[in-house]
Structure 1
Amino acid sequence: MYLTIFKTVIEDTVTAFRPTSIVLQCGADSLGCDRLGAFNLSIAAHGECVNFVRKFNVPLLVLGGGGYTIKNVSRCWTYETAVLVGAAIPDELPVTVYDPFFRDSQWKSSPSPRRTRREPKFTCVVATNHH
């Protein structure tokens, strides 16, 4: 749901205003694995948003921000940077002396299993406004 709304709003905004540059603030507090992650996004969804904005081919300044679970913030920003420079990152984290400090060896955290409350009225408005 979030990606659909994000892409619709950003595409309509870029079409309407034709910006000569874009500042994209990527707050990691929207991650589902963050303590305050109300949007319940995955790191991959963050990367998809960054890639979507990048494809408009205008100068892009990407800023970090937010995030209250530090290991996930660093994972998210690393992935977004990889998306921006076109680099592939292996799914498994390399073995290091710091492994005891991490609970998992996967850097791509998934959103929490939560029930989402979809508002049919809002969904209808977004669908109606999409060009």
Structure 2
Amino acid sequence: MSPYLFTAAAIIAVIGILIVFKINLDKIKADPEQVAKAQTNFFIGAAISESVPLIMIIYAIIHAVPLSIEDLYVPAFIIIILMAFAMFFIFLQRKVDVEEDRRQAVNQFSIIAIALINAVPIIALVLMFINVA
């Protein structure tokens, strides 16, 4: 059960941060002068989106049992696919409807989002593999 709690935590975190990213990226695309406000809103939204997954990860650590590596194939594959999807989504949003004068702000915001969006899945993968007996 523990690896699937890690997987669920990663899914919830990534989906929440992607929603917050899309909302704030649209604000940056509309008005590049609002980059600082959009980044602030993004960080607040990302923190709120990661609160429940972090509680789930702590719960999974507390109730962890030793597992074999075969038990981690499916959850690890789901998390890796989720990370790839999130990066693909961010790179795709970075290219769509961006005027040349706004490209630098959008690229900077996208790089920050990639770092934040992969944090919980990486934590989940590492903690899943720590439980291997």
TM-score (norm 1): 0.34
Higher share of residues assigned helix: 2
Higher share of residues assigned strand: 1
TM-score (norm 2): 0.34
